[in-house]
Amino acid sequence: MSVERVAQRAEAQFQDTLDSLCSYLRHPAISSKPERASDVLALANRVAHDLRELGLESTVHELPDALPLVSAHWMLAPGRPTLLVYGHLDLQPADEPEWETPPHEPTRRGERLFGRGAADDMGGWVSHLAAIRAWLDEDGSLPCNLRLIIEGEEEIGSPNLERYMDAWPEVFEADAMVLTDCENPAPDVPGLTVSLRGLCELELVVDALSADVHSGLWGGMVPDAGLALMRLIDRLTDEDGRLKVGRVAIDDARRVAGTKVPIGEPEIRAGARLLDGVPPLPNRDKSSAEWLWWQPAMTVIATSFAPPEKKKNALRRRASAILSLRAAPGQSTADLSSVVTEALMKDPPFGVHVNVRPHGSPGEGWLYTPRGPAFPAADRAYLATWGRPLVQVGIGGSIPFVALFGRRFGDKPLILNGVMDPATTAHGPNESLHLGTFAKSIQANVRLYDELGRALGAP
Ligand SMILES: [Zn+2]
């Protein structure tokens, strides 16, 4: 069967694939640094050139005031469905002093490849380039039509991706999409991302006096705005320290999926850098996955409290805080903001004046229900290569391009996966790619094209 031969070919070409990944990683294509714009363009041109060498048609698109976007296609299978693969070639900065290897000189240590972008996201789309190459080298064709979109601005929030969609809509036309910029719950557990949380901020302002006054003269007689602020914030949380308003009901499918995800105390301890003796919040009646991905959460991200070196012996007239709210997938940030605001405005402690207003601009979450033949097809590809089907996972944060694809193409099968794992430390120092995960992802992609070509091929 040709898919077996192609899979073997991809395996035989693995060292070549790794070499080309390493050569891409030597480009410091950092989208947030204007002085690196030429590196982003150089890498885009290089990738487009390599895609042409592979046998695809490829174009570097450029819009004014935007970093480039690479598109490519192979459309020589008439009557077959078209799969679009999305990835991004730009990088986060790598200025952290904690890097143990040069961030732009990929370095192999054991079973991991260290370097900025190794897993986020160059390893993601290179795993597709490897699968495409194996098919074309071994079979001379692909089992489905294929498009590639490789963006140059994901790490700055994809500010122009929708403009690219409007300017060149034809390069986004497809029957199914693989968005490869997400994480696996473990190096041997493949993840299918089905949700993101939304994000918004509220500014909470408490006024007690019309001016700061001496605490020696008035302490113990009039309210402390700072204490009132703390009591108000405390009011929003339960005894475990979790936001207690705005919680949502989870359907059974996700509840069960959440229990299959391997997030235990060791993973939380390592991932969240918990100090010895500090336990994670207790799970009670929900899984860790549900708390992390599917329920709202609050973090106090700023206050007006003076740092110790700026203390003064005064009762402050005002105290304020910025509350960061993560909305549950499917829950609007406006709904969550309004229940939080209501809880804060009710019965002000000590009769102080309380004001709550939106801060910054909100980003909505995303909740996706996988349905249709593309998902069992993807499961078959993963079962054959990883030994298990995809596990539904969420992301506690927000990814602008995912919300955009969801809005524009939510009626199509959207397969969100990737080559990251919890030890990857994307965006942090010492980012790395698990080479076993990378190799299995290439194998899964080889089979995914074949499975999707057949599953979506019938009219
Ligand atoms: Zn990424």
Distance from the alpha carbon of residue 182 to the mean position of ligand 1, in angstroms: 7
Final residue belonging to a domain, choices 330, 361, 392: 361
Distance from the alpha carbon of residue 126 to the mean position of ligand 1, in angstroms: 13
Half-sphere exposure of 413 (CA within 13 A, CB side): 23
Q: Per-residue pLDDT averaged across 428-455, rounded?
A: 97
- Shared domain for 16 and 117, answered yes or no, is yes
Residue 276 clears pLDDT 50, i.e. is over it: yes
Residue 160 clears pLDDT 70, i.e. is over it: yes
Residue 194 clears pLDDT 80, i.e. is over it: yes
Beta bridge partners of 433: 113
Is residue 189 domain-resident?
A: yes
Residue 458 clears pLDDT 60, i.e. is over it: no
The domain that holds 373 is classified in CATH as: 3.40.630.10
Q: In what order do the strands lie in the sheet with 414-417?
A: 57-61, 69-74, 145-151, 82-88, 176-180, 414-417
Length of the chain: 459
What are the phi and psi torsion angles at 180 (to 5°)?
Answer: -105, 80
Task: Quick: pLDDT tens for 419-430.
Answer: 999 899 999 999
Q: Per-residue pLDDT averaged across 357-381, rounded?
A: 93
Residues 35, 40, 45, 49: is their CA dihedral positive or negative? positive
What pLDDT does residue 257 have?
Answer: 85
- Shared domain for 235 and 306, answered yes or no, is yes
Q: Per-residue pLDDT averaged across 435-457, rounded?
A: 96
Is residue 44 domain-resident?
A: yes
Residue 272 clears pLDDT 90, i.e. is over it: no
- CA distance linking residue 84 with residue 329, whole number of Å: 25
Q: Is the peptide bond before 121 cis (omega within 30 degrees of 0)?
A: yes
Query: Which residues are known catalytic residues?
Result: 90, 154
- Shared domain for 153 and 206, answered yes or no, is no
- Shared domain for 108 and 170, answered yes or no, is yes
Final residue belonging to a domain, choices 329, 361, 393: 361
- Shared domain for 343 and 406, answered yes or no, is no
- Shared domain for 8 and 68, answered yes or no, is yes
Is residue 285 domain-resident?
A: no
- Shared domain for 146 and 164, answered yes or no, is yes
What pLDDT does residue 201 have?
Answer: 97
The angle subtended at Cα 292 by Cα 286 and Cα 297, nearest 5°, is: 100
Domain range for residue 56?
2-195+365-455
- Shared domain for 351 and 440, answered yes or no, is no
Distance from the alpha carbon of residue 85 to the mean position of ligand 1, in angstroms: 14
Is residue 120 domain-resident?
A: yes
Distance from the alpha carbon of residue 340 to the mean position of ligand 1, in angstroms: 31
- Shared domain for 215 and 177, answered yes or no, is no
The angle subtended at Cα 402 by Cα 398 and Cα 405, nearest 5°, is: 150
Split into its structural domains, the chain has a count of 2
- Shared domain for 386 and 343, answered yes or no, is no
Q: Band of the pLDDT at 459, cuts 50, 70, 90?
A: very low
Provide the 3-class DSSP secondary structure of residue 214.
strand
The domain that holds 228 is classified in CATH as: 3.30.70.360
Structure pTM? 0.87
- CA distance linking residue 299 with residue 121, whole number of Å: 28
Residue 180 clears pLDDT 90, i.e. is over it: yes
Determine contact, residues 72/171, Cβ cutoff 8 Å: no
- Shared domain for 186 and 204, answered yes or no, is no
Determine contact, residues 314/212, Cβ cutoff 8 Å: yes
DSSP class of 166: H
Q: Per-residue pLDDT averaged across 187-211, rounded?
A: 95
Is residue 158 domain-resident?
A: yes
Is residue 283 domain-resident?
A: no
Distance from the alpha carbon of residue 417 to the mean position of ligand 1, in angstroms: 11
Final residue belonging to a domain, choices 342, 361, 380: 361
Provide the 3-class DSSP secondary structure of residue 5.
helix
- pLDDT over 90 percentage in the chain: 89
Q: Which two tokens mark 318?
A: 């005002």
Distance from the alpha carbon of residue 26 to the mean position of ligand 1, in angstroms: 17
- Shared domain for 180 and 232, answered yes or no, is no
Residue 1 clears pLDDT 70, i.e. is over it: no
Residue 261 clears pLDDT 90, i.e. is over it: no
- CA distance linking residue 51 with residue 49, whole number of Å: 5
Distance from the alpha carbon of residue 154 to the mean position of ligand 1, in angstroms: 6
Residues 6+ apart with CB under 8 A from 277: none
Is residue 274 domain-resident?
A: no
Is residue 275 domain-resident?
A: no
Q: Band of the pLDDT at 271, cuts 50, 70, 90?
A: confident
Smallest CA-to-CA distance from 323 within 242, 229, 238, 202 is with: 202
Mean pLDDT over each residue of the chain, to the nearest integer: 95
